């Protein structure tokens, strides 16, 4: 005879409908909704993510994370009177069979939640779609292009909409993945920044991640039980990515020890980079004015490479000919960290590259 498991919340006598992936507690459906929403409310209040009267652009992709983000924030805004005005901002990367379908979902969200929606496409902003970029560069480094372009496009879109802040649906699994990625790549600058719940580069709009401590599995369960309308297909370019391998490792970790995702986030928050390690200095791009640690920002450099038929520019450290051509055509200057073992620094000016 099967044992009936009761909900673990004090005072609740309902039968448990699921076991929480995050803490392992058996909970009934209503208590699950309640604890999930309360945790996000706690994150918002403790992290002071919003202020009364703010206009917040919600990154809306039509996927489970952004749909749950929209639903929960609208619910909490009404329940706790945050006094925030939300607008939906969607970026169309131009991936046929993926983004065009998910945008239909976002349009339904616009109607259902009665929130204004603005869609900005890569084609409008950069003149390229992701499909045309992949045709050019092949199936490697796709996420680099997409991530860099999307980030800038979100900022541009939010500025156009006069938003005070951008909220994205990055969840605990995403943050843990990013921490591991930055360790694997040796990117200590990003490692220090990536655990911040509010990222606030000067000149850019602040970005907040209210779902930072929410597990992806719980987001899926919440969306499923609430019967939310979302689009759930993986980007067709994602499996070949480096991040895909790290994601697979993270999923295996979660299977062994579910709390390992929170452990990785905790560990990432504790990491302190030695002050003697060289840090990137923030300035602005000489071409587009976007915040950048280089003279020309990453997006402009990637675009330059695409437009000049040198698409792998900056991506690999061995493209010396390609880098030389770019150096000749623009004012791009390599930083010390990008100078390869085969190049050296001239004593008279540390920014000049000499070929042996």
Partner 1 sequence: MKYIETYDLPLTILPIQLALSDPDFSDEDDLSKLSDEKSAELRDNLNSCSNSSKRIQLLENYRRLLLIKFAKYMNINTILLNDNMNNQSSSLLTNMAMGRGDCLPNSIGFIDSRCDGVTFLRPLKCLLHKELSLYCDLYKLKYCPEHVLNNGDSILSLSERFLSELQCEFPATVSTVCRTGDKLTSSETVDCDEMNRCRLCDTVIIQTDSLSAVDAMRFSLSLFDEELSLDRICYACSQL
Binding residues vs partner 1 (CB under 8 A) = 8-10, 22-23, 25, 35, 38-39, 42-43, 46-47, 179-180, 182-186, 188, 191, 197, 213, 245, 249, 252-253, 256-257, 259-260, 262-275, 277
What angle, 0 to 180 degrees and rounded to 10, lies between the N-to-C axes of helices 298-307 and 320-329? 100
Is beta strand 207-208 parallel, antiparallel or unpaired with respect to 165-167? parallel
Q: Of 89, 215, 243, 95, which is closest to residue 151 (Cα–Cα)?
A: 89
Q: CB of 39: closest distance to partner 1 in angstroms?
A: 6
Minimum Å distance from CB 126 to partner 1? 29
Residue closer to partner 1 (CB basis): 253 or 333: 253
Closest CB 172 distance from partner 1, rounded Å: 9
> CA 248, 250, 256: angle at the middle one, nearest 5?
110
Dihedral (CA of 138, 140, 141, 143) sign? positive
Nearer to partner 1, 40 or 91 (CB): 40
- In the complex, what is the shortest distance from the CB of residue 2 to partner 1, in angstroms, rounded to a whole number? 23
For partner 1, the closer CB: 136 or 190: 190
Cβ 339 to partner 1 shortest distance, Å: 16
CB atoms within 10 A of CB 202: 8
CA distances from 243 to 26, 177, 189, 305 (A): 32, 7, 18, 23
| Closest distance of CB 186 from partner 1, Å | 5
Whole-number minimum distance, CB 104 to partner 1, in Å?
Answer: 34
- DSSP state for residue 290 in the 8-state scheme: -
Minimum separation from the CB atom of position 258 to partner 1 (A): 11
Which of 39, 15, 43 minimizes the C-alpha distance to 29? 15
Core vs surface per residue 67-99: b (16+ CB within 10 A) or e: bbbbbbbbebbeeeebebebbbbbbbbbbeebb
Nearer of residues 30 and 188 to partner 1, judged by Cβ = 188
**Closest residue by Cα to residue 342 from 322, 326, 318:** 318
Which pair of tokens denotes residue 126? 């950069």
Calpha distance 68→73 (Å, rounded):
8
Closest by Cα among 176, 170, 191 to 258: 176
What is the end-to-end Cα distance of the chain in Å, rounded?
78
Of 23 and 283, the one with the shorter C-beta distance to partner 1 is 23
Which residue's CB is nearer to partner 1, number 8 or number 148? 8
Closer to partner 1 at the Cβ: 272 or 348?
272
Distance between CA atoms of residues 268 and 265, nearest Å? 5
Comparing CB distances to partner 1, the nearer of 33 and 113 is 33
Q: Write down the least CB distance from residue 38 to partner 1, Å.
A: 6
Is the CB of 159 or the CB of 249 nearer to partner 1?
A: 249
């Amino acid at each position: 005879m099967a044992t009936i498991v009761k909900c673990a919340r004090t005072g609740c006598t309902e039968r448990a409908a699921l076991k929480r992936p995050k803490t392992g507690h058996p909970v009934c459906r209503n208590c699950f909704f309640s604890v999930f929403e309360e945790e996000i409310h706690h994150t918002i209040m403790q992290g002071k993510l919003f202020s009364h009267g703010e206009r917040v652009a919600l990154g809306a992709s039509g996927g489970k994370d952004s749909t749950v983000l929209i639903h929960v924030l609208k619910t909490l805004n009404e329940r706790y009177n945050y006094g925030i005005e939300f607008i939906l901002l969607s970026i169309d990367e131009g991936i046929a069979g993926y983004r065009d379908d998910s945008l239909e979902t976002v349009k339904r969200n616009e109607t259902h939640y009665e929130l204004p929606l603005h869609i900005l496409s890569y084609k409008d902003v950069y003149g390229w779609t992701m499909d045309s970029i992949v045709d050019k560069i092949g199936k490697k480094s796709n996420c680099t292009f997409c991530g860099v372009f999307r980030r800038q496009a979100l900022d541009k879109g939010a500025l156009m909409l006069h938003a005070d802040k951008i909220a994205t649906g990055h969840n605990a699994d995403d943050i843990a993945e990013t921490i591991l990625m930055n360790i694997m790549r040796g990117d200590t600058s990003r490692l220090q920044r990536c655990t911040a719940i509010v990222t606030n580069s000067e000149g850019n709009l602040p970005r907040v991640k209210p779902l930072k401590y929410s597990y992806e599995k719980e987001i899926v369960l919440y969306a499923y039980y609430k019967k939310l309308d979302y689009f759930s297909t993986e980007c067709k370019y994602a499996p070949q990515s480096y991040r895909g391998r790290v994601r697979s490792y993270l999923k295996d970790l979660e299977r062994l020890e579910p709390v390992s995702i929170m452990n990785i986030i905790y560990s990432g928050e504790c990491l302190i980079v030695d002050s003697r390690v060289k840090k990137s200095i923030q300035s602005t791009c000489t071409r587009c004015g976007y915040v950048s640690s280089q003279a020309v920002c990453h997006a402009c450099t990637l675009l330059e490479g695409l437009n000049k038929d040198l698409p792998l520019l900056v991506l690999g450290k061995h493209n010396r000919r390609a880098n030389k051509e770019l150096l000749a055509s623009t004012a791009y200057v390599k930083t010390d960290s990008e100078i390869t073992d085969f190049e050296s620094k001239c004593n008279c000016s540390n920014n000049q590259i000499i070929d042996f």
